Chains A and B, each alone.
Chain A
Amino acid sequence: MLVNLIFRAHQPVRLREYTIFDIGLNSDYFDRKRTETAFRAACEDVYEPVAKCLLKILKANPGFKASFSLSGTFIGMLESGNKNTLNSFKKLLKHERIEIVSQTFYNSVSILSSRGEFEDQLELNMKKAKSLFGKEPSFMLNTSRVYFNDIPDSAKKAGITGIITHGVEKLPENAEPNFLFKDKKTKSSILFINKILSEDVIKRFRDKRWDEWKINEKKLNSWLASKKGDIVSILIDLEKVACNQENEGNIIKFLTAIAKLGKFRESFVLPSEARKKLKPSRDIDVLFPVLIEDSPEKNNPLGYNTMQQSAVKKIYAIESHVKKSKDKEVLENWRLLLDSEHFSSMAVNDETESPFSKTNKLYESPYEAFIYYMNCLQDIRLRLINNGRKVKKNANSKKKNPKKSKSPKGDRTGEVLPRSRRNSNKKPDRPR
């Protein structure tokens, strides 16, 4: 049994309390300060110690291998102020026994709404990995909670020939997760994450009441030996580690324990090596999006509530206008708004004890998350309209005849902007 360890890191950029009174006046949507504070804390608690620990393990244990999947948003945050952690990560990711796995740059579920954007984001992330760490990923980690044929298909267009994803158990043809699979059409390799083991690592590892506590290398070895299959993929989501484990010592202990597996045999493998070593057990063919992860909190993209649906619909409705506008800042802001975390924070349920998603600590309620999100969206629309005007004006002065650009307020939403702001950038009279 081979072990494929994948680390994943992403941090969402939190929205600030962007009210209707900000629309048209400032386009500062994000609570940079809060995001940065949270990020810095996470760096200190998790990212930095994990990176250092892995470097140590790599040095001491020549058999240890692992792969990393970092979102572009995460890397951006590292670059913009956490130089120490960035350097540790650079050192780590440039190591020959570490493979980089791509993912959507802005942690979006764009595959469901816009394949073009999905491919763009994969490419962006690959470019970033290349420029920063000098490696070209050939696998991607599917962070959305859905899977279907479009994913390997689109990924291939972006140059990705391998997918790591959740949930073989949920696919129509039920199968064991611990094998290498192949997409029917694109022949891309597919690896499935072993959900139970991943959860053991993230959630139960620290739990002393758990009857399997505590995990050491012998126990891990016997587990792996008892499992059916060729390869076990364990996903360690560093964001969840940060939430579930009070002190960093725990995940570090786990890592040292698992690293010692190298003693027993040559067991670690990178995704790209696995593809060469193993024969695909069978083909995977999923025509329609299938939900592949149990999400009790109802924040799965296929079961979005009306607020989530409408937010998704409206943000993607302006995609072509955003891209046509050639305004880099608008594009960047729009893409940051695609982060699926924004939509998950709008999840609602009827449980009396904790009616809102537990992971949602960003806003007071899903309703506020929705309100601020929609306000930001309105401002982006307004910027597009104003941009359109400027372009037209310039074009007219050069006596060219540009194609009349359609208003980005394409869908009839009934949202109204105050007249004063719709027409110009002029500051309207502030209410007293």
Chain B
Amino acid sequence: MLGWEFPPYSAGGLGTACYGLTRSLASLGVQVTFVIPKAPYTHKYNFVNLLNAEIDYDHILKLIKVQSELIPYHDCFSKESLVFGKDRKSCFEIYGKNLIKEVEAFARRVLDICKDEDFDVIHAHDWMTYLAGIALKKATGKKLVLHIHATEFDRGVIGINPHVYNIEKQGFDNADLIVAVSNYTKSVVCGKYGIPESRLRVAHNGVVLENVPKDYGVRVFPKDKVVLFLGRITIQKGPEYFVEAAKLVSDYIKNVKFIVTGSGDKLPWMIQRSAELGLSDKIVFTGFLKGDELKKMYTMADVYVMPSVSEPFGITPLESISLGTPVVISKQSGVSEVLNHCLKVDFWDTRKMANHIVSILQHKELESTLKHHGFIEVTNINWDKTAAKVKRCYEEVLGCL
């Protein structure tokens, strides 16, 4: 299995997803060798064999700092990217080319390292490993399964990077089977990359939750209801729709506050827009948070809103529900395909969004029913089902079915 990150060496959701998937695959009797670029120190997992492709570590780190948008689900924005729009385009050009080169180098190194490995199927996660996957397929003749967690259309901040698109397209063309994390992503791949549906399978993500809703005892606004937005503040996450809905909600009920957690290139715009709408005293921007602080945000909130314009899967609503906060999510997200006990709206329908938010805040019985059934539902979403589907894909490409 080829990945870009694996816990503890992960910055975003891809690592967590790979971890959950491999663990459940192992329990199904699938042996996984996981290849990631540069593991700085060795860490033993008893269910996965972790290999280390030597790349110039410092060089990569430098790239990550600036080119963070290109890393799937990456949440830690460096300070540079927060400098309002300054030289962003030129940064992209300079480092973009190097990153592509690095990806190519990674492919060559993977080929060297995996020469002596014994395996049946190559499973590659997201575009950065696709070239390596293709190279390995050509060298060994083994079958290639590609896993799409996010496409360039879900990530691209300043438009679509043609290099990345090309790599993705090349990967899809060479793959024996493609696994998408949702029907939504599947439709993107079919529509935007021209891949026939018959070559795609859907395996919804699972989630590993420390599902102990714990009261962190934090109420910054003891008298107010709290509505939360959490995630990268980029155009894909629909921050503008959140602000518009916030305006409608605060016009309707007085005792309400909005918390925006996360960072991204749309943050300055978001701050400005909420000031324009007269919401400055209602919206609190916390910046990027992680770990316990993130959990505190979820528990502080009375409702979590994910108005994503485009979301391949979206794990945050599951986290929110597991911490006891009901959610309003956009229908344009993969997670809406597996989540029933929540409220769903089209991301552009801010009036309905506001209506749903107000309803959750006003009706205790609605909130409690959503909480109760949502929690039961979320605890049943795990990686075992995903792993079973992925295993089926392996069997399919190997002709065992």
List residues of A whose CB falls within 8 A of some B CB: 17, 19-21, 305-307, 309-310, 348-350, 352, 355-356, 364-365, 367-368, 370-371, 374-375, 414-416, 418, 431-432
Contacts and interface: CB of A to CB of B under 8 A. Distances in A.
Contacts, number: 81
B359 interface: yes
A367 B366 contact: yes
Contacts of B370: 367
Interface in B234-254: 247-248, 251-254
Contacts of A350: 373, 376-377
Nearest to A418: B252
Contact of B354 (A20, A348, A355): A20
A352 B377 contact: yes
B363 A352 contact: no
B325 to A, nearest CB: 15
22 contacts: A17-B352, A19-B351, A19-B354, A19-B355, A21-B351, A21-B355, A306-B368, A307-B363, A350-B373, A352-B380, A355-B377, A365-B340, A367-B341, A371-B343, A371-B356, A371-B359, A371-B366, A374-B362, A375-B359, A414-B362, A414-B364, A415-B363
A19 B340 contact: no
The size class of the interface chain B forms with chain A is 20 to 34
Contacts of A352: 377, 380
Given A20-B355, A416-B362, A368 B343 contact: yes
Contacts of B354: 19-21
B125 interface: no
Contacts of B253: 416, 418
Contact of A371 (B247, B248, B355): B355
Given A306-B369, A416-B253, A431-B248, A370 B355 contact: no
B207 to A, nearest CB: 15
A416 B256 CA distance: 12
B368 A374 contact: no
A344 to B, nearest CB: 15
A307 B355 contact: no
A374 B251 contact: no
A20 B365 contact: no
A29 B368 CA distance: 26
Interface string B338-357: 00111110000001101110
Contacts of B365: 306-307, 309-310, 370
B366 A20 contact: no
Contacts of B380: 352
Nearest to A311: B365
Nearest to B376: A350
A432 B276 CA distance: 12
B205 to A, nearest CB: 16
Nearest to B254: A416
A15 to B, nearest CB: 13
B309 to A, nearest CB: 20
A367 B352 CA distance: 13
